[in-house]
Structure 1
Amino acid sequence: MKKIVALVALIGLFSCNKEEVLLPQETISVMKEITDHSPIYMFFRTEENSANKEQLDTIVEVNRKNSIASTNWVFNIDKRLPLKLVIPEVMMLQEKKKGSSHAKAGMMNVFTYSDSIAKNLAFFPFTDVQFKYGKHFSKSFIKKNAQHFANNHNFTVNFKKDNTITIDEIEVPREKFIAFVKQFADFTADGKMITLHLNFDNRLTYNQYIQNKILAWRATRSDIQLSSIEFVYDEKELAGM
């Protein structure tokens, strides 16, 4: 049985056959190790723009050759890649694994990043996450499915293109986010679960995505949970609705 243990440089570099993936960095490990895994790599690449040869376009190159459906899948994604390239690939791989006859119950999907304090490779599980991509946003989704959320306090958390944060359209400083959420939970104290519905502008980088997910995760406790549905939106598509 294979095992990934804490071996990552402070710069957050992960290598695959001499090719490098720059990993996001954080100061906490959600998970420190995982067994029986298959690695998947998403490399940062650039290519010449066909319309403007002086301009380079960012593209993603995915190495999924070792993705065995009966194992845990470890996603090593370059932190410079934008979500508009990353999430569609993640969604396709999720469907591939789900539809495989070799899929095994209990196997996880995890994102990797570097814990710069503990100096180890860390993991963020997203096995149960369902991504809504493009023209979806949690506020309208909750309205359309109100019966499923009626027993909760529902917060729409939006990580915007400039990486600022709003909660129900109120801008909240990053350093006050966790306290804001927990203070609301303490204020209500009515027995209802608080659910954080996360929305991400698709122009954010994967680095920003992981940092924001961990920030939201740090705000959770027994009465505060993250929704299993995440919204990665295209601002132009939302404006056109």
Structure 2
Amino acid sequence: MKHFYLLLTVIILSSCGNEKILLLPEVNGAPVTEVSDVSHAYLFYDETQTDSVELNRKNLIGTTNWLINVDKRLTLAQAIPKIKFLQDKKRNAKMHKNENAKNYYTCNDTSIQNLGFMEFTDVVYNSVETDDDILKIQIKKEPILLLKMNEDSKITASDIFGGQLTNRGDYSLDDLSNNRFKNLTSGYYSKIILMINTKLSFQDYIKFKCSVDTNKISSLVIDSNEFIY
């Protein structure tokens, strides 16, 4: 089992005689554990590249579910532009299109020692400079919970209501699994918005998103608009 587990953590591809290693992000309890009818794309961490990221998408088939394998060492600044490129490729396809096909991130689910998946089909990545930029986009009468993951991995919780931002305190990733966070999300908000610093790693992003999804109250949804700053 130990050797099998290692293979799940590390993807090794051989291309033109060169081996490329991809380290999958790890989570404890992925939202999805099985996906069928798939094709793959890979985002490698490559120190020899100017931007340290290399995209391999030659095996993608437009009518299948896409599994996007992203190296956990990449920052969001490196990974998100490539991911948006793939999203646009699928959304704008005019031929060989399957409206039911979805996009997933592949991860290593340590709770089952197997592959897990996180769907992001409808996620829209928005670039912003400050919290106030979100107020211009999210104008709703219902209160919204903004969870902002900062460069130091601390999470700032804020209310968005009446065109104003009100700080509700700071959290760690570990705090997201305790009663303090559950109490924060209970019975008040209409939805959750995520905001993530571009310098954070893809590992940080996946763990953050999975933790919020797992530990929020079930009636709350995570907005499909995510904000990268």
Write the deviation string for residues 170-190 of structure 1: whole angstroms up to 9, x where unpaired.
21233323433421344xx3x
For 2:97 and 2:205, the matched residues in 1 are separated by 27
Partner of 1:150: 141
Report matched runs for 1:1-241 at 5 Å.
Answer: 8-9=5-6, 12-17=9-14, 18-47=19-48, 59-101=52-94, 102-133=96-127, 135-136=128-129, 139-146=132-139, 149-151=140-142, 153-168=143-158, 169=167, 170-178=169-177, 179-186=179-186, 189=187, 193-233=189-229
Give % identity.
Answer: 27
For 1:138 and 1:126, the matched residues in 2 are separated by: 23
Q: Normalising by structure 1, what TM-score?
A: 0.80
Q: Measure how far apart 1:109 and its partner are.
A: 0.4
Runs of 4+ residues over 6 Å off in structure 1: none
Aligned residue identity for 2:104: V
User: Which 5+ residue runs of structure 1 have no aligned equivalent?
Assistant: 1-6, 49-56, 234-241
1:137: how far off? Answer: 5.1
Q: Secondary structure at the match of 1:14?
A: strand
Give the letter for the 1:106 counterpart.
Answer: N
The 8 Å contact of residues 44 and 58 in structure 1, kept in 2 or not, is answered as: no
Aligned-residue RMSD, C-alpha: 2.1
Task: Indicate the SS of the match to 2:60.
Answer: coil
TM-score, reference length from structure 2 = 0.84
Aligned length: 211
- Paired residue type of 2:184: F
Equivalent residues of 2:8, 2:115 under 8 A apart = no
